[in-house]
Amino acid sequence: MADAPDIVDLTITNVAHGGVFVARHEGRVVFVPDTLPGETVRARLVDTRKKSFWRAETLEVLDASPDRVDHVWSSSSIERDPRDRAGGAEFGHIALERQRRLKADVLSDALVRFGGLDADSPLTRVAVEPTPSDEGGDGLRWRTRVSLHVDEEGRVGPYAARSHRVIPVDDLPLATTEIADAAPLHDRLQGATTVDVVASTDGVLVAVDGAASTGALHERVGDRMFSLEPLGFWQVHREAAELLSAAVASAVDADRFDATAPNLDLYGGVGLFAATLADRFGTGIRVTTVEAESSATDHAAENLVDIVGARAVTDRVDRFVRAIGREGDLARYRDATVVLDPPRSGAGTALVGELAALQPAQIVYVACDPVALARDTKALRSSGYELASVRAFDLFPHTHHVEAVAAFSRSGDRRS
């Protein structure tokens, strides 16, 4: 061990939520990035202010795991100084199959610790599925949207990991070829602060400081074309929209679905999952998509124009659901199907309680954060819903992120 008091040798025991790993030093938990379970690393303690845990940065691998590989992005490699490692590929040093097992471990642990599920339940043993084109592949070239930053010297790049310091890079291996070719990595953009590069059905758009020189963009999912704002939300992985649409359609129990009920697509964006319901159950269904961003609901209204009973509402989801609860006529929602795709922070206990009070027949939850899903799972279970199924997808290879689709039904509600 080096003489410096902040340099320590750590043995990594397991993975934690957020793309870091767990070690112990003098009885205290230490969170460490750029490593993986089973390794021994030399690390620098960088945050020792909290009593419950410390943070460290990996300097050197002393005993490597057999699952360690050369980093897919040299700009994030362990060979670089920790302060100069580009963020956005924090699992890029781990073999893909092990990445997926680690993500499954995080999801399983969250469902047990925060969701209250039994550790022996098959619902907590979820495999993280690769996307069709990534199966057996290298997990590269999937990002159709990249946000970069510009430093005071005009240099373009991602932020350093856990920092707001711009790191100039020569390549973007997680981006599609079109995105990588269009990104102005070697330009000097003096006075700018951000660069967004977006690929869609229409081609590639480069927007500096949010300035887009085009109208709506278009994305095709199956036989449908969706319009959206140039920098509006859309799934990042090139296969994500189609894969999640299929997963949501599969998660909906057809025996519980009522086409005439007031079905809901909450945090609906431009109407992807409302369209999913219509494509499975027919364009005569009733469905309301709710989104706080008015430009998104404008596009949703256009995207869902062929669905007779569809409407797009601009409102905060919590306010919309609360207003339903004040209407008094809640019985009509007992046959409804609700799809919700909340932000990374989740729906939250208050909204879950108000939604459960409507007693919809089933709820399909699209989650991009395991802990948020688990907390909302606990709230749903305490409000009379059972977790019926959960699937997880590796829509962010070489990062710690994972997407899940969970289905809930009313406890004791059995339909033939």
The residues carrying an active-site annotation are: 368
Is the distance from CB of 34 to CB of 85 less than 8 angstroms? yes
- How far apart are alpha carbons 97 and 412 in whole angstroms? 38
Interatomic CA distance for residues 89 and 146, integer angstroms: 13
The residue behind tokens 């999937």 is 142
For 352, half-sphere exposure in the C-beta direction (CA atoms, 13 angstrom radius) is 24
Alpha carbon of 229 to those of 210, 218, 311: distances in Å? 11, 9, 19
Determine whether the annotation assigns residue 152 to a binding site: no
67 a known binding residue? no
Measured CA to CA, the distance from residue 10 to residue 21 in angstroms comes to 11
Q: Under 8 Å CB-to-CB from 371, ≥6 apart: which residues? A: 17, 110, 114
Any residues with CB less than 8 A from the CB of 11 and at least 6 apart, and which? 23, 39, 40
Q: Give the SS3 label for residue 187.
A: coil
Instruction: Tell whether residue 235 is among the known ligand binding residues.
Output: yes
3-class secondary structure, 169: coil
The annotation status of 385 as a binding-site residue, yes or no, is: no
Residues with Cβ < 8 Å from 331, sequence gap 6 or more? Answer: none
Give the strand order in the sheet containing 14-15: 7-11, 40-47, 53-63, 28-32, 21-25, 14-15
Distances (CA, A) of 178 to 101, 138, 144, 168: 30, 18, 8, 19
Pick out the residues of the known binding site.
235, 267, 291, 341
Pick out the residues of the known binding site for S-adenosyl-L-methionine.
235, 267, 291, 341
